Structure 1
Amino acid sequence: MKDMTKGNEGKLIFYFTLPMLIGNIFQQLYNTVDSAIVGRFLGKDALGAVGASFPIMFLLISLVIGFTMGASVLISQYFGAKDFDKLKKTIDTTYIVIFFASIAITFIGIIFSGPILRLIKTPEEIIPQAKAYLDVIFLGMIAMFGYNTISGVLRGVGDSKTPLYFLIIATGINIVLDLVFVVVFKWGVAGAAWATVIAQAFSFLASIIYLNKSHEVLKFNIKNMVFDKEVFIKSLKLGLPSGIQQMLFSFGMMAMQTMVNNFGADTIAAFTAATRIDSFASMPIMNFGAAISTFVAQNMGANKPERVRKGYISSVLMSAAISIAVSLVIAIFGRQMLVIFSNDANVIDIGMNYLTIVSSFYVIVSTMFITNGVLRGAGDAIFPMISSLLSLWIIRIPVAYILSPKIGSNGIWWSIPIGWCFGLVLSLGYYKLGKWREKVVIKVDSQIKADEKDKEKIGFPEEAI
């Protein structure tokens, strides 16, 4: 556990971000290895099928992502306030909600993925492969949600290292099984999906064993779990705006995917490969945003708002430096990276256009993510939702729709950084107003202190908090 309410703000955020970053790099390897092996061994149509599947998967899990984000803020604030009774209730309630949500999404995904693929104008020749990939992924929803929920709980109480260890091992399993199922057994794109599901299941089971042996308050015990209506409503209020944002964002991504699909299989394959590289490149950005949310939530929960501004400035500077370095790496080695996914010259050229345009604006999006992370950590989830949706639906999609008939797929690529610039202006303006400081979810009684016996009893020794 890591108490982020004392100590140097910049160092705390950096060292908290680092394990998350490494972990997310390995997690992203799930999709990237799938895409690379599929593209190299099964061809560009199969690569396009995997890429076309992502917006549908993201659409169906978006509301659940929002709920877990809300729960994570509550967990961090209760941990910062040392209210371990509410912390335990929040964790139990989160587990229960995620379990039933994963079952529902499994059935919905398997039933409706085919019609949605046709709705977004996926080329008929790749629909069977995309459907096969999605069906297997949806069968593994419980494992995927379970692991990511436990990881979110651990990060909420300041532990970003433990999930990393399980994830590194799981990624190795995924890579080996990808090669076995796709190359040796010839299971096609379904084999790549099965490799991912099995690896995620390992991460989930390993994290449960760890929790049950190490943390009484975080313990994963189905028989003793208690659903707390008050906590559920608070998590919903915090998470629903983010969930709606994620859902509407996924609709926007489907609209973007539809425009990409109109340009044919080469552009779909290029978009899939380039976005896999883009996902790696943008990970420092997203992880600093997640880290500042935990930092802000703990410090607002502990009634220490003066530390928030220092942490914000440190995060912006660190993220900007990393973003510039990443942009330079992509500019120099982007083409070589794309070759990992496809040998097709046209696919590589289209993908390089995407990377060149988008990577030039990583500094902009990093500042936007961190600013929105501050707002969410303080409990203000509404404005980041509004800002993100406006930048997507008012700017990005219309710009892509206007430019793509004139300059081809580059018009879609240019709409992405233009939307980022608009979103950053909105987020910075709202941050300066300062109203987010009034949105903290819990009120702290500075006289309430947990004694050392109570701390040890619930599984948080003194050095941990």
Structure 2
Amino acid sequence: MYRDLTKGNISCSLLLFALPMIAGNLLQQCYNLADTLIVGRILGKDALAAVGSAYTLMTFLCSIFLGLCMGAGAVISIYHGKKDDTAKKFAICHAFLLIFAVTLILNILVYIGIDLILAFLRVPSAILQPMKEYLLIIFAGIIATSLYNFFSCLLRALGNSVVPLVFLAVSTVLNISLDLLFIAVFPWGIKGAAVATVLAQYVSAIGILLYTIFRCKNLLPSKKELHYDKQILKEILNLSSLTCIQQSVMNFGILMVQGLVNSFGPAIMAAFAAAVKIDTIAYLPAQDFGNAYSTFIAQNYGAKQYDRIKKGTRQAFAISISFCICISIVVFFFAKNLMHIFVLPEETEVIAAGISYLRIEGAFYCGIGCLFLLYGYYRAVCMAEMSVILTVISLGIRVLLAYLLAALMHSEIGIWMSIPIGWVLADITGLVYMKKSMAG
């Protein structure tokens, strides 16, 4: 169940390690996918717009502690590659306390500032109250999401990508079942979707926590080993904080784009909500493959197998680009069919806007696929500051162009066009720097 990525066939190891991660995150997307599908079909476009806008906000909030988890996971992977079990246990303990403290503070702040958040997002008055009701409930799941992500990142860092998938599968089935019960059977409306998601999140969080405590005791420090280690905490803080910044900047940029989308009204908001779900699921395998590649790089970096890193990098880019080309073709030609999954046929304005988004952005999935690999590489070799730079390039250009082109074109098409331009420019920068760093 635990995979050693420092030996064996590289492509097979990467794919076998990545597949459970891909399946797990596809299931995780089902949390919001179920909300989107059921809410859009039963409660209508205004409720769909509210849930979709809330999804973008929650993605940003979760990116803060997800970035911390990913950074900590890279440190743990490096110690695992070095076969230093004592340092690995110290890293696990320090990372958990740090991430849980940040999560608690974040949870308190979002409840205090919910009205300011809604104002920043420029939420139309027609959906302001239902979106606030939804958020007040969904915020209760932040701690559960943080716990699940920490322990799943921990297990994946050590080569176990199967167990996180099992707990997600159970909670996803529960989420969908409760969605149908609370929305289609009970008249709970948008609140029912939020309650279903939060309950499912706690099932996966508590499940993986108990599994780690009772089945992975060798990973947990004993009472004698529970003491402060300044050097290890410094390593975790350096890598985790930069990864957190990278993730947060990326999703904050998306949040700013969401605010611009909201200014075009509920129809465009609903189109964006549905299209983003399709978009996220389409390139999610490339994202998870990038995370698997990052674990591969970190373990081999710890083991000082630099030739294996170079060989694995070439193979990883070939696999990711091949997949992205295939998925781009599917999304481009079946954009209308995909939109019909979430939106009723009579909502012609919503469907048309969603199709244009998917065809413009979907044609360039190779750009985001390469970017995920670059993020993973720089995080794994303790150069997370480069991931931040690439994110600033990608998102900075996206946000600036989105506002500029939308104003010049007086259309949401300008927003859609800005996204792949940002990807491509960040890719060029990251690949040039990678080539120089590997040559050195």
Give the TM-score range, shorter chain.
Answer: over 0.9
- Measure the CA separation in 2 of the matches of 1:276 and 1:257: 14
- Measure the CA separation in 2 of the matches of 1:225 and 1:339: 54
| Equivalent residue number for residue 328 of structure 1 | 329
Which digits, 9 at most, give the CA deviation of each residue in 1:114-153, with x for residues without a partner?
2211122110111111111211121122211111110000
CA drift at 1:223: 12
CA drift at 1:228: 4.0
Which digits, 9 at most, give the CA deviation of each residue in 1:398-452, with x for residues without a partner?
2112211333111100100010110001100110111797xxxxxxxxxxxxxxx
3-state SS in 2 of match to 1:122: coil
Equivalent residue runs for 1:139-154 within 5 Å? 139-154=140-155
Contact 1:73 1:297 in 2 (8 A): yes
CA drift at 1:58: 3.4
3-state SS in 2 of match to 1:217: helix
Contact 1:102 1:145 in 2 (8 A): yes
RMSD: 1.9
Equivalent residue runs for 1:158-307 within 5 Å? 158-219=159-220, 228-307=229-308
CA drift at 1:338: 1.3
The number of residues matched between the two structures is 436
Give the unaligned 5+ runs of structure 2. none
* TM-score, normalised with respect to structure 2: 0.95
Contact 2:300 2:306 in 1 (8 A): yes
| Equivalent residue number for residue 99 of structure 1 | 100
Contact 2:90 2:221 in 1 (8 A): no
- Aligned pair 1:429/2:408, yes or no? no
- Measure the CA separation in 1 of the matches of 2:100 and 2:316: 34
CA drift at 1:250: 3.0
- Measure the CA separation in 2 of the matches of 1:85 and 1:109: 37
3-state SS in 2 of match to 1:5: coil
| Equivalent residue number for residue 463 of structure 1 | none
* TM-score, normalised with respect to structure 1: 0.90
- Measure the CA separation in 2 of the matches of 1:428 and 1:414: 22
- Measure the CA separation in 1 of the matches of 2:139 and 2:439: 37
Q: 2:360 aligns with which of 350, 354, 357?
A: 357
- Measure the CA separation in 2 of the matches of 1:225 and 1:257: 44
Contact 1:208 1:220 in 2 (8 A): no
- Measure the CA separation in 2 of the matches of 1:227 and 1:129: 46
Equivalent residue runs for 1:325-404 within 5 Å? 325-343=326-344, 344-393=347-396, 395-404=397-406
- Structure 1 residues 35 and 82: alpha-carbon distance in aligned structure 2, compared to 1, 3 A threshold: same
CA drift at 1:222: 10
- Measure the CA separation in 2 of the matches of 1:428 and 1:373: 13
Contact 1:211 1:220 in 2 (8 A): no
CA drift at 1:208: 2.1
| Equivalent residue number for residue 448 of structure 1 | none
Aligned residue identity for 2:249: L
- Measure the CA separation in 2 of the matches of 1:320 and 1:112: 41
Aligned residue identity for 1:400: A
Aligned residue identity for 1:323: C
- Measure the CA separation in 2 of the matches of 1:229 and 1:54: 37
- Measure the CA separation in 1 of the matches of 2:220 and 2:49: 41
CA drift at 1:209: 2.5
Of stretches 332-341 and 81-90 in structure 1, the one that deviates more from structure 2 is 332-341
Identity, % of aligned positions:
39
- Measure the CA separation in 2 of the matches of 1:16 and 1:348: 37
Aligned residue identity for 2:377: V
3-state SS in 1 of match to 2:159: coil
| Equivalent residue number for residue 418 of structure 1 | 421
Which digits, 9 at most, give the CA deviation of each residue in 1:364-389, with x for residues without a partner?
22122212311211111001111110
